[in-house]
Amino acid sequence: MPPDHDQSRARQLKSEQAALRTQPGPIQSVEASGSQLAKVDKSREGAHGLQPATQQTWRPSRHTPSNHHSRRLDGTMQKRRGLGGLLGRLGHRLLDHKPSSSKPTSRGRYRKSELGRHAKEDKMPPWLVSLLQEEGEIRSSGILPVLQQLLRLNQVTQRAYLCDSNVQHVSKLKKEGGFCGYRNIQMLASYMIAAGSDGHESFHGKLPTVLEIQEYIEAAWDSGINPLGRLETGGIKGTRKYIGTAEAQAMFKGLAIPCTAHAYMHRESGKSETQLLRDIEEYFRSGTALLPDAEQGAKVVCTRLPPVYFQHRGHSMTIIGLEKQEDGSANLLVFDPSRDDPPALRQLVGQIINDHGHPDQAISPYRRGHKYLSRYKEFETLRLKHTTSQPLKEPPL
């Protein structure tokens, strides 16, 4: 090859490398909501039919290798399942797949790091089935009105937003294992039942049990909603395998309950956290529009919005609000299914709190701020559509 051609090629490569170094990193908020996914422009789909991110400030150029991300969205690069939901399995979130005819195996494609230490079991032990059938779950009603009053009294709190006050805090039973995903689904269901939102009829006025949730998810797979979930997990019916955002989405879509999933991924530390907090604040602020002016301007705004399913690697919770503090920091407010409500706080349920010695300390168990969120680079959320068909009712029994 002539020397002048080599020099020209070298200059071209140098220019391309410089362009790559100046590109911003990828920050993505991937959204998927059934009807939207069914209308994806086929010319823009990825290898696995993924809809392009609705919000995206970086896109690979034609010079960027397909594996430029630390994790490819189709999950083929990662050894682990991602968050047990969207991040590792974005491709099969499309809801226009044909029903899968593949027969599941109990082992599936994933290992203990993705499905928990019971990843290979065919059936959970009989004693646990009896425990789930007889005791169900631990539920606390009336916690949100208590938090509302404590936030109002707390001098550190500048502004706070809360979801619908009828949402119950559902906690795991002692010895039940890793059913956090199921408990978060139950918390969202507690809102739907009380608010009479779309799809609440499916629950017949009571929270679905863990075993019923498994049935709903398997039925959704049968109908072609997120069908690769069965192949990846080997099926979940009657097992203690972990579930994640994709399974929750499959269940709600299978019951015709409108929902939207978001995945936050950024290789640069802190970017996913920042975008997550920004989106959650915007979500709750959107719920103030229908409130009276006096309530919109309150220090603590109680919306009628659903709570939000929230997942990071290894755990999931339910977002019930957001707190902004005087120093400018922000905290998610969550119901954690792995933790019960403190007895001292439960004693305040139903009371009018005009004074409290340590409101900041009482709120602390429900906060997830920078110290916690900075441990993770990737998050997922699942939001229900805010629609109600009847006046608010008392929480489900």
The b-or-e profile of 119-129 (16+ CB within 10 A means b, else e) is bebeebeeebe
**Structural domain total, the chain:** 1
Rounded distance, CA 271 to CA 78, Å?
21
Residue 377 domain-assigned (yes or no): yes
Residue 61 domain-assigned (yes or no): no
Residue 158 domain-assigned (yes or no): yes
Structural domain including 269 reads 112-384
Residue 255 domain-assigned (yes or no): yes
Q: How confident is the model at residue 174 (pLDDT cuts 50, 70, 90)?
A: confident
The tens digit of pLDDT for each residue in 319-374 reads: 999 999 999 999 999 999 999 999 999 999 999 999 999 999 999 999 999 999 99
Candidates 41, 38, 46, 36; CA nearest to 75 is 46
**pLDDT at residue 90 tops 80:** no
Rounded distance, CA 280 to CA 183, Å?
21
Q: What percent of the chain has pLDDT over 90?
A: 52
pLDDT at 112: 62
pLDDT at 11: 56
**pLDDT at residue 125 tops 70:** yes
The contacts of residue 127 (CB under 8 Å, 6+ apart) are none
Residue 16 domain-assigned (yes or no): no
pLDDT at 297: 84
pLDDT at 349: 97
Residue 79 domain-assigned (yes or no): no
pLDDT at 277: 98
The tens digit of pLDDT for each residue in 127-139 reads: 888 888 888 888 9
Q: Considering the chain, what is the average pLDDT of its residues?
A: 77
Q: How confident is the model at residue 27 (pLDDT cuts 50, 70, 90)?
A: very low
Residue 32 domain-assigned (yes or no): no
Cβ-based burial of 10 (10 A; exposed 0-12, middle 13-18, buried ≥19): exposed
Instruction: Please tell me which residue, 127 or 395, carries the higher pLDDT value.
Output: 127
**pLDDT at residue 218 tops 70:** yes
The domain that holds 353 is classified in CATH as: 3.90.70.130
Rounded distance, CA 143 to CA 343, Å?
11
